Structure 1
Amino acid sequence: MQLQTSAIPDFYYALFAFYEPALTILGFIGAVHDPETTHNAQAPWPVDGPPPASLPKASIVTVIQLAHVCALMGVVNFFILTAIRKHLSMHPSIQEKIVHALMVPLLLGDCMHLYVTLWALGDQRWDVAQWSPMLWTTIILGFSLMIPRIMWHLGIWRYVDARDGSKSDVIITNKENTMNEKQ
């Protein structure tokens, strides 16, 4: 297996700088396009209390604002991870520290998002047969980001300074020498 010399190699970069922003931006577009459906599809409605025919303006604004914050987080990921890969490519230990500072709150957010979603469902949380397609999508897509974030923290498929530091120094020195020779 080839030694990884980046704290954010292609797999994680594609996932967190493209897949995650795409999901959050699409969610925002969906909420702006149809905030009522976005609101009403979040959780199952009781048979005797269907969703309201129209939402109050405050609910519409809240749905769109929450979707905007999610999209903003996705866009922030793109710009931070792109800058790290571009400007710190020769410093994987610094990459690791900065990406760690980004990934910790995002992983905590993933866990809390799952927890509060299930908590808010109350007694219906384990009645998965009644979950709406939107709720299933929320849970599944949440895991599709949370599991790779856990993998990143475990050091799977990426540079880990404590493990790879002395090995990668030779590789990085060779890269720097090659770049200097080309100049």
Structure 2
Amino acid sequence: HNLITSWSVPEVVREHGGTPVRTRVGHSFIKAEMARSGAIFGGEHSAHYYFRDFWNADTGMLAALHVLAALGGQDGTLSGLVAEYDRYVGSGEINSTVDDQAARLAAIKAAYEGREGVTIDELDGLTVTLDDSWFNVRPSNTEPLLRLNAEAKDEPTMAKLRDEILHIIRG
């Protein structure tokens, strides 16, 4: 799974006996990691789904068939099936035009570095994980944009975090 999918993704993978593997955003990174690790499935936040049995290729058709099979195997509705996995509140991807991507990323890192209970990684942009939330800010490769994704256990926490980061980005 790419690093901006919900916290629920690795949780569900572990709950079903799998081992989640984080990758950078982009189909080439997902496919390469699937090949390296022998993964049976890979997914991106953008609703691209890759299956080992389909040559690690992206196929919405096979993903839809798996959803229909899961739905057919239970008495509930599709919304009920989805609700089981809807555990966190996300911001969606928010794009901000900036003149200096590196300077904005450095300012965000400086704002969180050294805080207790905070982990920072730079696998793809900057990912900051707190006790009850996380966010990722990564530069666009083709435009002068920074892309923010944030997630938290509840709406007020997510909104506060999102607004704090956007203030630094758009300062």
Return the TM-score normalized by structure 2. Answer: 0.29
Return the TM-score normalized by structure 1. Answer: 0.28
The structure with the larger Rg is 1
**Structure ranking higher in helix proportion:** 1
Higher relative contact order (CA 8 A, sep 6+): 1
